[in-house]
Structure 1
Amino acid sequence: MGRTLSVTKSGDLEILMTRSFDAPRTLVFDAWTKPDLVRRWFGPRDWEVVECEIDLRVGGGWRYLLRQDGGAEMLLQGVYQEIDRPERLVSLETNEDCDASEGQALATLTLVEHGGVTTLTQVVRYASERIRDAVLESGMERGVGEGFDKLAEVVATPERAGTR
């Protein structure tokens, strides 16, 4: 898998995303779970993470508030279902733009390292095919792709990521 984001439909309810990073998986895992690192890469280039809270424990939650250059805001949040550092995170994500019955998605992040290159695979399972397709049509692929490009920059060297 290359250094660009691959986004595909999987079954009727899932989106499968993969991307490789030139970094050890412990560093990629940290970039997903430490607020100071999440703020540096999460979201599209024209959005900024203005609030980032992470309670890294099963049953704990994460909450990111993003703000676009023009002032629009987006709130993303979830509750950790499984944590297996440094290879797996599972969280139940909620989207306040959807009703409660369809506004949840189960996101499973897996990190596999070979020779200093970490392949990230994220499977997001939605409550309905309609919601999954709406997410794909929303520009999600561009936003995630730009965020992952920023993540690659953050983890390019341990010094840049603030870990030594």
Structure 2
Amino acid sequence: MQQDLLEKFGVQVSQRRLYRAKRKAREGDYGNHARSYKKIPTYANVVLETKPGSIANIQYERSDIAMNPTLKRSFLCFDAMKKGFINGCMPFLGINGCQLKGSFGCVLLAAISLDGNNGLFPIAIAIKEVKCKDGWLFFLHHLDAALVSMIDKQLCIMSDQQKFVFTTNMLTIVNS
């Protein structure tokens, strides 16, 4: 960028100024992560008010929510996703996670199934902190709570590089 500006416009710009301009341009295209994360509690409240039977749960880093709370982890499962899974999907549950880009370093977890056409069907998502066994337990606990009362058949559960223990009603992690 620095070379292009010099050749095309005869302007010499510092690396620091170019970095700030690039960051502002990216925010214009992709948004600001901090502002997006601050909208999650509002979104969760709207989901709970407008979609009865849905689950939206948020945990904060600090116990005092009034003092600038920071998001620790969140879970979201729409009622329509639960019903769609029970009524139209194969008895298969895939669980996986991926790193999110950005300055917060979170992990996005997802539970999916296969619909009648072998297409992917999302069931639940969560955001958790990186390298934390408790984050997986949070996700699995809420997933279990969302589905266990509705499931009357055995499930095939698949995950990538996580070791799970299956008890009668609850999924838990042995090692992460």
TM-score (norm 1): 0.29
**Max radius of gyration: which structure?**
2
For CA contacts below 8 A with separation 6 or more, give which structure has more relative contact order: 1
Q: Which has the higher strand share?
A: 1
